[in-house]
Structure 1
């Protein structure tokens, strides 16, 4: 089956996308997706490490994509809120398979429930990073 994504050439982007996911299988798909879109993936298995990296300011981050539940002291939801305060205007996607998670997020954070569609996420990422 050919999808709209395969029929329509997607504009490529540049820069880095921070990916925070503790499930290796999901992380592999996320890395492949953002790489195919032209971004450099910055991969983290937990929000604690991602937050430390973000505070160091070593890279310009175009988008943060995190799972809501991550191991460690802070959750992906906490990371999203901290990132939003630290980098105003940063596009943020939070994903979760747990019902009701969207209500725990601050306004301005895009929520996508799991399982998510590669096509939908690709279009969303391109829309959020269009500037």
Structure 2
């Protein structure tokens, strides 16, 4: 016999349901942990994005080469196995197609994109583990700026606004 758990007395939903965006861009997801890659790809596909995937930097470069004109955003882990890490992957992709947007994923606070406790200028990051809404918001934010940018505009969006000195 299966029974449902009773609702806690006085328990209420404290927030309204989150409205998620609907995407139409093509995203290349690069993540060596299969479970994380599958979740990220499933979330993005469910939101309407076309999703390509790779397990490491070398595979990502092959996928990118075969789909170069179609890819709008690179979502890559910072720490990848093999010779091509996330930062180098983004640099190589941007050398070929400067208008591709980049979002890094990381479960670490100290890595190749964090310098003295601060993110490098122009780096966009989503921390792992992430919630569906966090990934949606970050990807939509970065892609939203892509439509309004010019060729001279930065291709990696800053995570935080700069403060006046």
TM-score scaled to structure 1, two decimals? Answer: 0.83
- Give 4+ residue runs of structure 1 displaced > 6 Å after superposition: none
Relative contact order higher in (CA < 8 Å, ≥ 6 apart): 1
Matches within 5 A, 1:72-87: 72-87=82-97
Q: In the alignment, is the contact (CA less than 8 A) between 1:80 and 1:109 conserved in 2?
A: no
Give ranges in structure 2 of 5+ residues lacking alignment: 1-12, 148-165
Q: In the alignment, is the contact (CA less than 8 A) between 2:54 and 2:63 conserved in 1?
A: no
Question: How far is the alpha carbon of 1:110 from its aligned partner?
Answer: 0.9
Q: In the alignment, is the contact (CA less than 8 A) between 2:126 and 2:134 conserved in 1?
A: no
110, 113, 125: which is aligned to 2:124? 110
Count of residue correspondences: 129
Q: In the alignment, is the contact (CA less than 8 A) between 2:31 and 2:56 conserved in 1?
A: yes
Question: How far is the alpha carbon of 1:58 from its aligned partner?
Answer: 4.8
TM-score scaled to structure 2, two decimals? Answer: 0.67
Measured at CA, do residues 53 and 107 of structure 1 come closer, stay the same or move farther in structure 2, by a change above 3 Å?
farther
Counterpart in 1 of 2:8?
none
Counterpart in 1 of 2:143?
129
